[in-house]
Each structure stands twice: as structure tokens, then as C-alpha cells.
A and B are shown apart, each in its own frame.
Chain A
Amino acid sequence: MSEQRPAAAADRLPVLKTHKVYVGGKFPRSESGRFDRALAPDGTPIANICRCSRKDVRDAVTAARAAQAGWAARTAYNRGQILYRIAEMLEGRSGQFEALLAVGGTAPDEAAAEVQAATDRLLHYAGWTDKFQQVFSSVNPVATSHFNFSILEPMGVVGVLAPESPLLGLVSSIAPAIAGGNTTVVLVTGSQPLPATTFGEVLNSSDVPGGVVNILTGRQDEMLAPLAAHRDVDALLLCSPDPDVARSAEIEAVHNLKRVAVRPHEDWTDIQSPYEITDLQEVKTTWHPIGS
């Protein structure tokens, strides 16, 4: 267990962290009691992580559903401040994330750049919370005497298959989803799960209500199908370059016609736009008569 190994004094044993999952604002272990090892690129074990089960997925969906209405009801201003707060917390812990990325095999200068990009990305979406509605909603000039408008509403609970990109990709997939008022169940199945488990701590100290982001670690072949088929999940964000992964999840998603967005990117440097938010929004059109 060599993660973040400090230059320990000869007479002091370092305190190592147990990497747990983040569900409903708490840090439980997998209900299954199972674990996997996170490995360095050379195969050296770095830490144990939870190997979550179908039941963990269902519990996380329950937490995300419970949080969704309240999160969507927050003002856009408030959601923006909370996303900004996440950026503040990440900036303050940049050294820790650089170390986590480095131990996973990222070169030190690249690690620093990735943490900075992830922080800036949070800031970017913090700024969109109270603007995307203005850019993308409309008042529709109907030919009858009605006040008619179309606004965006969050799809609800979004299941996220997190990308391999351990921090920038993770943040780039979560931030636009929650900026728009969705809550998320995030499956971390890539080769570097430790930035994700630690990112849960950042979220937990950023005034993000419990359940808005739920982060599970484990194996894609165990967790993705139950999440994709879950009838209380409204949308999927599938960050995988593997077309077979997207295809099988899309088929599971047909049960309740989940909306599915596929993000095959491996490099997340430029994956930043308001369309990442609007792809997880519904359009609602409302008609009010104008008259006496």
C-alpha cells in the first residue's frame, strides 16, 4: 500500500487511507464486503477499493432519487456557488490529486496540468448554472393568443459510466450533469479509481447535498447493466470508447426509454461546452392563454 507515501520519519508509520465509496453523502463500503486492488502501471498494488455490487448500484440510485427534487429546486445561483465551492476545495487539495495521478502513472507536470484543468472545468460549469437556461430556452411566437415558452428541466437521475481519464474526464462528466440539476450515480471502473474516491471527499466538503453525486468503484460488467436497466434512472452518460459497451447499455436502457448520451473521448481536454449540460435536459413547453 504505497499510495501518497510521505517521506516518513524512520520512527513513524504512515496512516494509510481506506478508499471507500461515496453514497448519499456518506462513505460506506460495498455492501458485498468485496474488494479489488488498485494497481500502479507496473502492477504494484496501491490500495484496496470497494468492488461494488448490483445492490450498491440500487442503493446509490435510491440516494440519487431522494436528492434529485431538492437539488433541482435549488436556485441556479446556489448551484453555481456550490460548483464553485467544489473548485475551491479541489484547488486546495491539488497536491494530493497530483500525487494520486502520479502514483497511477501520470507524469508530474501532466498531473499538475490535469488537476488545474479539472479545477477550471468546475469553474466553467459553475458559471453556466444561471446562464444555460437563458441561452437555450425560448419564448415561442405562436399564432394564437397564448404566452408560450420552452424551458429546460433536468432529466432527473443520470447514470454515469465514468471515463478512463481519472480526474479531468471524471469532473467533465459529473459537472455538467449536476450543474443542470440532475443527480448522478457514477460508476468508476477505470484503471485509476483513486482520484474518484478522493474526489468524493472534495464533494463532501463543498456543500454538495448528499446524494447529488454518488460514486461507486468496481467492475463494469457487474455494475453497468443493473444501472442501465434500472427503471428509476432517467438518463445514461456513457463515457467509453468501446462501441460494444455503449450498445449493450443502450439495449438495457430501452426498458424505460432512458436518454443516452455517449462520450467516446479519450482526451477530455476540449470536452467542455454548454451542450454537455443541455444533452441532459428535457425541453418543456408550456401554454398559458392571454386574455381576460
Chain B
Amino acid sequence: MTDSTPSTGLTAPKLRLGIRDGSDDGWGYAPAPESTDHVELRDRYGLFIDGEFVDAGDGRTFETANPATEEKIADVALASDADVDAAVAAARRAYEEVWSKLAPRERGKYVYRIARVLQERGRELAITESLDGGKPIRESRDVDIPLAAAHFFYYAGWADKLDYAFPGRGARALGVAGQVIPWNFPLLMAAWKIAPAIAAGNTVVLKPAETTPLTALKLAEIIQDACVPPGVVNIVTGAGETGAAVVQHEDVDKVAFTGSTEVGKLIRRALAGSGKHYTLELGGKAANLVFEDAAVDQAVEGIVNGIFFNQGHVCCAGSRLLVQESVADEVISKLKDRMETLIVGDPLDKNTDIGAINSRAQLDKIEEYLEIGEEEGAEPFQTSCPVPERGYWCRPTLFLHAAQSHRVVQEEIFGPVLAVQTFRTVDEGIAMANNTPYGLSGGVWSDKGAKAFRVTSRIRAGVLWANTYNKFDPTAPFGGYKESGIGREGGLAGLHAYLRPEAAA
């Protein structure tokens, strides 16, 4: 565990509420670390293939570490092409011989079981998620894990109702799905991928991200405990090469990828002409539009949630603030004050607002963008909160007076960095919101209902939040327009991604 009362000797901020810098004035928060004594972590994790944990064929491993302490947590098997072959073969066998022959109702029961055990082991999973990935325990406890369980519960119920998926058509599973997920919501992304796939009757080979494999491997334990037939879910750990082997495997019928637009395009290219099914959930650069008739305090909370939730490691993060000129000074002033109260530090402390940046590589990338933003002429603002000495940290950051052409406006940073621009008219705000290659999400803040409906309908993005932000639900389809991806996850649309309609009767 990190030292929860770090001393940094930084200049005291103007607003001190919630700041724990060792010179407490009586108004700070006492440390509130989550206890970890009930969490069992192994020193070494194998691949989960055909219902068993096995070492990589060539015995290779990699380390997964706690980004808040830089300390190793466990050695994890590194899957080679041969291991991926074995996993796909197991998935194929399970699909042909077991899963596709099982009564849909019984298939659903297995998925329900997974949901239930996820709920039972929720706290352990939340702590593991925060240890391995750096996210604040409040978020892993209240968002990631409950939503992951909810996804399994929602899709479990679809298993025996597939006849209602495509009006006028029957529905059939696709076969074996190859799935690759990112490190920002490790267990939740595993749930988004696995739950609809297996409920619809497919079997899967999933590759978690190399910096955050642990909760997916705990999910494998749960799947084992739930007596899900061997091979229905296979989990292979490794880095990009392992992922490439999964998505390019010729015996995979469906590819599901969540990650960067750059890698998504490589995958899409590799799939060209194959006729395989695919869904791609890629990058974003969402605009949060604040109009002059917004409830400003609510909007400020929404802006903070939009960009600082999960350290900004969110593909749908509201990483651009577009604020109407007449209220810009007020909004930005209140935003800065609110940001000063944010606590950056120990992910396992229940007071923490912003945890650790997921990895050294990601911190390097964010810091590179901090330099780029300054060089381009945007005005940086960073809060003065202390951060621990060890680990990977980034204080909440604004780039004021950013221009549409700036890279910090056009490119996904994936960190707690918000580019701020102003607009005058509704049309201008919409045009600016739409002026990136991305189209994953967007936010609109206005107390005029008609305007909120109009603006959300004109933003070219797959998910729009009006007077709220970063809300997710298993029943609500999620996914991007333009270069933010192809296809949807969640809801009925997310079920479609794992089914093919049969020809009309």
C-alpha cells in the first residue's frame, strides 16, 4: 500500500478543502484506505484455456505491477501464437460440441451464475482492479464491478429470447469470437465482450490488456467455479502480439476490439474481404457543450466527471470543453475552484478522486501532450494538489484558449487533460463539436429541453448525454460514429453484434 499521507512540500493551494499535504489545517480528509486482507492474489497466473489454468507453452511470463507503487503484483503467462491456437481450438470444440447444443435456457443459467458470483466477490474484484490498474476504489467499487455484474445479468436473460432479436427473422450465433480489450475498465470491458457473446451462444477467446490482466483472470476463476463448460470462455494474456494472434486467427468468426483508432484500423484492414463479423470500439474526443442557459454548478460537476473520471482514461471522456462565451469566465472560474478540491493519490483510499495513471507508457504519452499543448500556444492550468512520490500521477489539467487545430483538441490524450474553447452561437458550438475525426460521445448542458434535444440530435456521435455525463448501463447501446468505431455494445444492438439473422421464413 502506498503511504497515504505523502509529504511533498508543494506550495499551498488557494482552496485547501480536501487537501492532505501534511500541513493539515483541520479541514483535510483523514486517510480512509480500503482494507485488502480478504483479497487473495497469486504470485503467478496462467492462461485460462479449455477450463484449466495452464502455463504458456514456451513458459514465458510478464509482470503486472501496481501503477500507484510501481511494485510487481504477479507474473502472468505470456501467450504465444501456439497458445492462442490452443485457445481457439478449445473454443471451437466447445462451440460445436457443447455450447451450441445446450438448451438456451440452460445457457442463460450459466451466465446468470457468473453475474451472481461477480456480485458476491464484488469487493475483492474492486480492490484487485484498483491495485492492478490504479483507478480509485470508489469508482471500481461503485461503477466497474456492479456494471460488469449487471452486464452478465442483462445478457443472461437474452439467451432464451433470441427469437425476438431480429423482428421477422430467426437468429443464430456466429461461432467463435476473438476479443481484445483495453486497460481502462478491465473487468467491465471483459463483461461487455463475454456476456453478450456467450449468452447469444458463441464461445470466446479474450485477451485482456497486459497492464491489467488480473480481474479477467479472477473472472476465469469465477467461470470455473460456475461450472461453465470448458472452452466456452478462454482467456489468453499477453501484449499486442498476442492480441494480433487472436483477432487474425483464421478460425475466429467474429472479432471484437476495444482500443485505439490506430490499432482498430489495422484490424479492420486485416479483416477486409474475410466476411467476418466485427465490432470496433475506438478512440474519442468528445465535446462537452455548456450553453449560457445551463445550470452552471451542475455543468461544472459534469465537466469534472466527464474528464477526470478514471483519470481521463475513458474513450468517451468529455475531453473538450466548449463553453458559450457569455458564461465562459464564470464556468472556468468555478471549474478551477472545483478542480482544486480533487484529491490525487492512493487508489485504495476512499477519499481519492483521481488515482494512478495506468502505466509509465501512458504517463509519458500524457506528459508529451502537456508539452505539445504549451508549444502550440494553449494556456495550461494545473491544480496544486500533492501527489505521492512513487507511482504514476498526473494532476488535473486544463488547456485554456485552445484552438480547433491544436493537437490537444484533435487528438485523444487519454488522461486528465481538458482542452477548453469558447463559442458564440448554437450552430458554431455544434460545428466545433463535430469537427474532429471522432464521434463516440458528447455532452450538452442547457436547462432548455428543446435546445438539449436539438443539439444532441445534431452531434454526430453514438452516445449523447444531456445534463449528465459518463453514464453507462447494460441496456443502453454504446459505440461510435466516424473513426470512433463500428458497431454497438450494450442493449439489443449489442446482442446483434453476436448474432446473424436467418433468412426470412
Contacts and interface: CB of A to CB of B under 8 A. Distances in A.
Interface stretch (A19-27, A87-95, A166-174, A277-285): A277-285
Contact of B476 (A142, A234, A248, A274): A142
Contacts of A270: 504
24 contacts: A140-B475, A141-B475, A142-B475, A148-B475, A250-B268, A250-B273, A251-B269, A254-B265, A254-B269, A256-B437, A256-B483, A257-B482, A262-B275, A273-B168, A283-B488, A285-B476, A285-B490, A286-B463, A286-B465, A286-B466, A287-B466, A288-B468, A289-B466, A289-B468
A283 B273 contact: no
Interface of A: 135-136, 138, 140-144, 146, 148, 150, 234, 243-244, 246-248, 250-251, 254, 256-257, 259, 262, 270, 273-275, 282-289
B222 to A, nearest CB: 22
Nearest to A249: B272
Contact of B481 (A146, A282, A287): A282
Nearest to B478: A285
B44 interface: no
B335 interface: no
A282 B462 contact: yes
Contact of B473 (A138, A143, A256, A289): A143
Nearest to B266: A254
Given A148-B475, A251-B269, A289-B468, 15 more contacts: A138-B491, A146-B468, A148-B476, A251-B273, A257-B265, A257-B268, A257-B483, A259-B486, A270-B504, A273-B168, A274-B167, A282-B462, A283-B462, A288-B466, A288-B467
A250 B473 contact: no
Contacts of B501: 275
Contacts of A289: 466-468
Nearest to A132: B167
B464 A254 contact: no
Given A140-B491, A257-B485, A285 B464 contact: yes
A264 to B, nearest CB: 9
A143 B491 contact: no
A275 B466 CA distance: 30
Contacts of B493: 150, 283
A256 to B, nearest CB: 6
B199 interface: no
B476 A254 contact: no
Contacts of A254: 265, 268-269, 272
Contact of B273 (A138, A234, A246): A246
Interface string B30-73: 00000000000000000000000000000000000000000000
Contacts of A251: 269, 272-273
Contacts of B479: 283
Nearest to A287: B465
B467 A250 contact: no
Interface string B265-283: 1001101110100001010
Q: How large is the interface on B (under 10, 10 to 19, 20 to 34, 35 or more residues)?
A: 35 or more
A136 B481 CA distance: 18
B286 interface: no
Nearest to A152: B493
Contacts, number: 112
Given A142-B476, A144-B471, A146-B471, A284 B462 contact: yes
B461 to A, nearest CB: 7
A140 B504 contact: no
B187 to A, nearest CB: 18
A149 to B, nearest CB: 9
Contacts of B491: 138, 140, 150, 285
Interface in B10-40: none
Contacts of A286: 456, 463-466
Contacts of B483: 256-257
B299 to A, nearest CB: 13
B264 interface: yes
Given A143-B150, A254-B268, A262-B275, A285 B481 contact: no
B265 A285 contact: no
Contacts of B271: 250
Contacts of A256: 437, 482-483
Nearest to B167: A135
Interface string B419-454: 000000000000000000100000000000000100
B153 to A, nearest CB: 10
Contacts of B465: 286-287
Contacts of A273: 168-169, 504
A132 to B, nearest CB: 10
Contacts of A143: 150, 473, 475
B89 interface: no
A150 B477 contact: yes
A245 to B, nearest CB: 9
B327 interface: no
Interface string B57-97: 00000000000000000000000000000000000000000
